[in-house]
Amino acid sequence: MVSQREKGQVAIEVLRKIAEAHGFSLRPQDEPEYLSTVRAAQESVEYVEQMKDYVDPGLIRDLNVDGQIARTYTLPSPSENPLNAWSHRTYIKAPSIADSPGLLTGKTIAIKDNVSVAGVPMTGGTQPFHLCKDKPAPIPEIDAPIMSRVLQAGAVVTGTSTCENYCMSAMSCTSATGPVDNPWLRGYSAGGSSSGSAALIAVNFMKNRGRTSGISVEHLGEGVDLATGGDQGGSIRVPASYCGIYGLKPTHGLVPYTGIASLFPILDHCGPMAPTVRDTALLLSVLAGYDGFDPRMTPEAPLRDSTPRYHDRLDEQVAARAAAGTWTPAAAARGLRVGILKEAFEIAGLDAEVAAVVRKAAGRFAALGAEVAEVSVPLHLAAPHIFTAATRGYMADHLLFGQGSSTSASLPFPFPGAAAAPALDQAWYETMTASNPLVVVALLSSELLRDRARYPEAVRDKAVRHAHELRAAYDEALARFDVLVLPATPTVAPRHAGADMGIAEKTEFFLANTLNTLPFNVTGHPGLVMPVGWGRAGDGGEDEAARLPVGMQIVGKRLDEETLFLAASAWEVGGLGLDEE
């Protein structure tokens, strides 16, 4: 640790420059007293800096659920990782759980590689030399609460899943280890940034119970039953749409984000990814509830003991409708009010075939007995501007430097911004420009937008107020309807980014598929994506006849995930979305 003497006490010239930058001068007679008080603050900070770190014992007790059992990991070989969906392989389970079987007993799960898993490297999808000087990658010493919860529920963690570089892309071609392929069509995007999680679930779905569309599944490698994902603009929902699985971005603050790499706190969501509606509800039952540490969790967030068992609630609602004779293809959605979000069909780049598949899927609700009508929220089309203006100015602080991290007060977190992490340099720039220029854009735009002479803090404050306006606009629509339905992505999964793409083309490509997902990150509404049909790959080449899943997003009231699960389950009484080949 560098001592105070080595760092040097602040000199009066430094304070003079600070004062000058803010438009005033220190009076000579005041300088000694200001200098002494600032030096006192400096001394306190440097005193604490030298103290041994402290982690709340309650947090340690929650996280180290497997006691002293050693954890090991391996880097998967190409032969066991044909889709590049695995980051690291491991086998972690709790030595014992409660007397009764856990909710996830017998299920395998992958944890996204931006989550703290004790004893297993965490890369956040980026090159390890960006994170550590003297070891391959940061290795956390404790588990994030969501990791503890899946272990306590009896799941077996069989590995961490590949994610996009710094988790900043909604495609699947920027990871340091290479692209993650879509299981339905190699060479095509699995979506991002939770790309590996979606691909691994799709593998098991295709092998165990899904249609394969003529694909040979023997060469897809090992999959998982469940996975966790993170979502700051669509990073759960886009991969779910592209891979034909189910993904939920829960209400903001419902699932603790403690111990997970942050992009920006008001956008940070963690949620379940699964092969069925009920499995999605089951995993949410395990993940949700207040953890005592994450400030994203508001007083609305339920305590663990009062967190709904979403799968049980779904079972009860289905049983009640079945007993009443209404759980049928003619009446399963009776009583639901479904709004088709008009502006979601007006976004740039929306493919006509995807729009038609989702409109047909939305119309099925009427055949199932629901009240269905179009609803307009004009501000939906302005959401990307509101999103950017409200968050981009401070995004690099969280993404690259770990400053202002709302989880840093809870536990020593190895990524990003750790003391061992090297400073950004030319090698970092060259690597990121080649793999994911969005990260460089985040750094440059953050620095620019924090220039108070150019963009006063009032500009961001105004954007945050418009985020509240956007939330109120959706709330108004949801006062008339139980759920809103819309296309999850503008197209089916595209080919991976071409090597000939320039910086501007790449950055647009990496985010162009989030126009219908990112609005609900800034407003906090829950969004569930489910597969509802197929669309042609349509690239004009040899894959012209290939078909890929189309996803529909169902958005609900905040903390009303139960209605999303009911609506999705009712829709499937008419047949699963991928049933037709």
**Which of 235, 262, 410, 446 is the catalytic position?**
235
Q: Which candidate in 93, 112, 249, 506 is catalytic? A: 112
Please say whether the beta carbons of 491 and 439 come within 8 A: no
Q: 379-414 pLDDT, tens per residue? A: 999 999 999 999 998 888 888 877 655 444 455 555
Options 193, 262, 410, 435, the catalytic residue: 193
Residue 238 forms beta bridges with which residues? none
Q: What is the mean pLDDT of residues 551-566?
A: 98
When pLDDT is averaged across residues 179-196 and rounded to a whole number, the result is: 97
Dihedral sign computed on CA atoms, order 514, 515, 520, 522: positive
Residue 62: half-sphere exposure toward Cβ, Cα within 13 Å: 20
More confident residue, 162 or 453: 162
| Catalytic residue check, 112 | yes
The span from the CA of 452 to the CA of 448, in Å, is 9
Long-range CB pairs of 67-76, under 8 A, 24+ apart, other chains included: 67/95, 69/95, 70/119, 71/118, 71/119, 71/120, 72/119, 73/119, 73/120, 73/121, 73/159, 76/159
Query: Cα–Cα distance between 479 and 483 in angstroms, integer?
Result: 9
Tell me, yes or no, if 36 is annotated catalytic.
Answer: no
Residue 299 tokens, joined: 């007083």
d(CA 114, CA 98) in angstroms, rounded, equals 28
Angle subtended by helix axes 503-511 and 437-449, to nearest 10: 90
* pTM of the model as a whole: 0.93
Is pLDDT of 417 > 50?
Answer: no
Average pLDDT over residues 300-327: 97
Closest CA to 124 of 362, 399, 352: 399
Average pLDDT over the chain reads: 90
Is residue 6 over pLDDT 70? Answer: no
Q: Which pLDDT does position 487 carry in this prediction?
A: 98
Q: How far apart are CA 525 and CA 538, in angstroms?
A: 33
Picking from 8-17, 130-139, 313-322, which range would have the lowest pLDDT averaged per residue?
Answer: 130-139
Q: Which tokens sit at 42?
A: 């400096």
Give the model confidence (pLDDT) of 242-295 as tens digits. Answer: 999 999 999 999 999 998 999 999 999 999 999 999 999 999 999 999 998 898
pLDDT band at residue 219 using 50, 70 and 90 as cut-offs: confident
pLDDT at site 57? 67
**Is 193 in the active site?**
yes
Domains with residue ranges and CATH for the chain: 4-48 (no CATH), 57-572 (3.90.1300.10)
